[in-house]
């Protein structure tokens, strides 16, 4: 199965990455490359939309964990939305679900990101 990736710029340095298909040993390099292009010192947030992701393997999980760590090092946010039951089950089985910001939908993620940016602006103003 293939992996389709669609990147949308939500606002300056905030990106939504929609995944469709399978994130596995044959496709993870596509997401790795896309995320490496997005993540830099200016990036504020990346949101993975899993609504159309049908399968994820352990190497796909590794890519997701790498993205979270890379963004954390840059004081940026990493979130995931719209988990399919089979994808959530894999994260639960690996006992790593609690380490991620997971939202049911984009409006929830938007509220979180808006608050994060406001907090950052307050810190900068002080």
- The 10s digit of each residue's pLDDT in 49-59 is 999 999 999 89
What is the rounded average pLDDT for all residues in the chain?
A: 88
Residues listed for the chain: 126
CA 70 from chain center: how many Å?
11
Domain CATH code at residue 67: 3.30.750.24
Number of domains in the chain: 1
Phi, psi of 99 (to 5 degrees): -80, -5
Range of the domain at 114: 3-125
Read off the pTM: 0.82
Burial class (CB within 10 angstroms; exposed 0-12, middle 13-18, buried 19+) of 122:
exposed
d(CA 66, CA 34): 13
Average pLDDT per block of 10 residues along the chain, 126 residues long? 93 93 96 95 93 94 93 91 89 75 78 76 71
pLDDT at 98: 61
Under 8 Å between Cβ of 12 and 47: no
């Amino acid at each position: 199965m293939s992996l389709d990736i669609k990147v949308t710029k939500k606002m300056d340095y905030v990106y939504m990455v929609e995944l469709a298909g399978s994130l596995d040993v044959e496709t993870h390099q596509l997401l790795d490359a896309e995320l490496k292009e997005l993540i830099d010192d200016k990036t504020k947030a990346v949101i993975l939309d899993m609504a159309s992701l049908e399968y994820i393997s352990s190497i796909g999980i590794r890519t997701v964990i790498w993205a979270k760590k890379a963004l954390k090092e840059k004081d940026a946010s990493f979130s995931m939305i719209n988990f399919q039951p089979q994808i959530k089950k894999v994260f639960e089985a690996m006992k790593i679900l609690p380490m991620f910001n997971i939202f049911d939908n984009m409006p929830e993620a938007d509220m979180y990101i808006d608050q994060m940016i406001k907090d950052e602006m307050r810190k900068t103003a002080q």
